[in-house]
Amino acid sequence: MRRLAVLVTIGALAAACSGDGADSTATGSSTTSTDTTSGAVDDAGPEDGPDEPESSYGWQVVEVVDASRPTDAVRGNDGTTLEAADSRVIRTVVAYPSVGNRSVDDSEAAAPAERDPAPLVVFAHGLGGLTAPADPVLQALVDDGYVVAGPNFPETTSPYASAADFQEQPADVSATIDALLDPDDGIADFAARLIDADRIGVVGHSLGGITVYGATLNSCCIDDRIDAAASFAGVWGGEFPGGDFSFPPIPLLLVHGDADGTVPLAQSREVFGLTTGPTYLLTLSGTGHGAGIYGGGDDDRLAAYGALTDFLAVHLDGEADSSVLDERSIDDAVGRWEVADNG
């Protein structure tokens, strides 16, 4: 029954990502363009994110190549074709606090700020999404002091939307972490000195949510370097070859809108009931698939980004007490905050 449910959900995602030309999952045309954004299936848009941070923002786009796994041919919703290949090329935005008060439009390859190594957060986009330097999630996380990597998964980045490729994406996340931590591989050598390798988190939206679950909860693909995980409107229930969901006690934040017509809230609620580690569920009232990080009203965005900020401060930075989350409250008109009883 669960397999049927996830197939229906993935079918809905694929349908939302089909259509003529550009769809509502992303705008723009290139990961190196500063006017693009990754987005939600039904309510994305760069104008819907938080205000551009006042702190400095630097970014570079790098290509992570995993020669151990192939790429399948995929037909794009714009009529183009991704050619089959013997390797996977993962175009990745690396964003970080930089020197000088720069905007996104003027911050490519900006010099990193001189500071102690910071935690790394990897952001996994949704089906047909596109993570670009102007993505509001990346900007918000850099504004909080994190180094952020936004891998664009080869077969699910706009204009491609091969939903079955979620099974490969946890390994893409691990390959991205490998590349950023290696100071001598010639990919993102500058990033290694910026990152505290002992503090790594992952955040995913929609199909990126099941990517996060695979990388942290499934025996096929668990990356032990990851210390905390968050899923926004995450797909749940897919199967990963060679593994089972073993639910190690990793801290997990779940955010979902109760008006999500693409990925039902019930999927996050099921995960909430299965976890063994510190787990939190923020349900946003009347909010769709953007789950507060893309689209929605100001209160939704404040609640979603605020929950993520506090969650990472507690479980990744170690700079806040768990009471910040355990005793958190939000206005009933905005939604509901729940803490799992896993003690």
Q: What is the pLDDT of residues 325-340, one digit of tens each?
A: 999 999 999 999 999 9
pLDDT at position 103: 65
Task: Evaluate whether 146 touches 161 at the Cβ level (below 8 Å).
Answer: no
- Specify the pLDDT at position 342: 79
Is the domain 2-339 a CATH 3.40.50.1820 member? Answer: yes
pLDDT at 11: 52
Domain ranges of the chain: 2-339
Question: How does pLDDT run across 116-151, given as a tens digit for each residue?
Answer: 999 999 999 999 999 999 999 999 999 999 999 999
Q: What's the per-residue H, E or C state across the chain?
A: CHHHHHHHHHHHHHHHHCCCCCCCCCECCCCCCCCCECCCCCCCCHHHCCCCCCCCCEEEEEEEEECCCCECCEECCCCCEECCECCEEEEEEEEECECCCCCHHHCECCCECCCCCEEEEEEECCCCECCCCCCHHHHHHHHCCCEEEEEECCCCECCCCCHHHHHCHHHHHHHHHHHHHCCCCCCCHHHHCCEEEEEEEEEEECHHHHHHHHHHHECCCCCCCEEEEEEECCCCCCCCCCCCECCCCCCEEEEEECCCCCCCHHHHHHHHCCCCCCEEEEEECCCCCCCCCCCCCHHHHHHHHHHHHHHHHHHHHCCCCCHHHHCCCCCCCCEEEEECCCC
pTM: 0.86
Low-confidence ranges of the chain (pLDDT < 70): 1-55, 101-103, 105-106, 343
- Determine the pLDDT at residue 325: 96
